[in-house]
Amino acid sequence: MGERTPDVQDGNLAETLAYLADVIARRRDADPSRSYTAKLLQGPEDERLKKVMEEAGEVALACKDHDHDHIRYEAADLLYHLLVVLDAEQVTLAELAGELNARRR
């Protein structure tokens, strides 16, 4: 587990995800030696997918411990890595929202 994030304030998830998706898209062609995101996007597919699985497992373990701050921390890691995979597969946030909205009917 990484360092706990100090002074976390509530935010707007839609705005944050849109901002993060934009940053990820801008890092597609960046130098992988200078950008972890570029390294994931330009590296082997299996490495991206392993990170999603790893982070999902860490969320589950944090939930098992009922550790609120740890759950939040690991869920943020999972969302970031999931957004990287979605970018690599050219699935947009708008498409994802559409999928979720279609399930509400």
Cα–Cα dist 97/101, whole Å? 6
Average pLDDT of the segment spanning 71-86: 97
pLDDT score for 105: 77
Please report how the helices 68-88 and 45-64 are oriented relative to each other, as an axis angle in degrees rounded to 10.
Answer: 160
Domain boundaries, the chain: 14-102
Domain range 14-102, its CATH number among 3.90.850.10, 3.40.50.720, 1.10.287.1080, 1.20.1740.10:
1.10.287.1080
Q: Each residue of 32-49: pLDDT tens digit?
A: 999 999 999 999 999 999
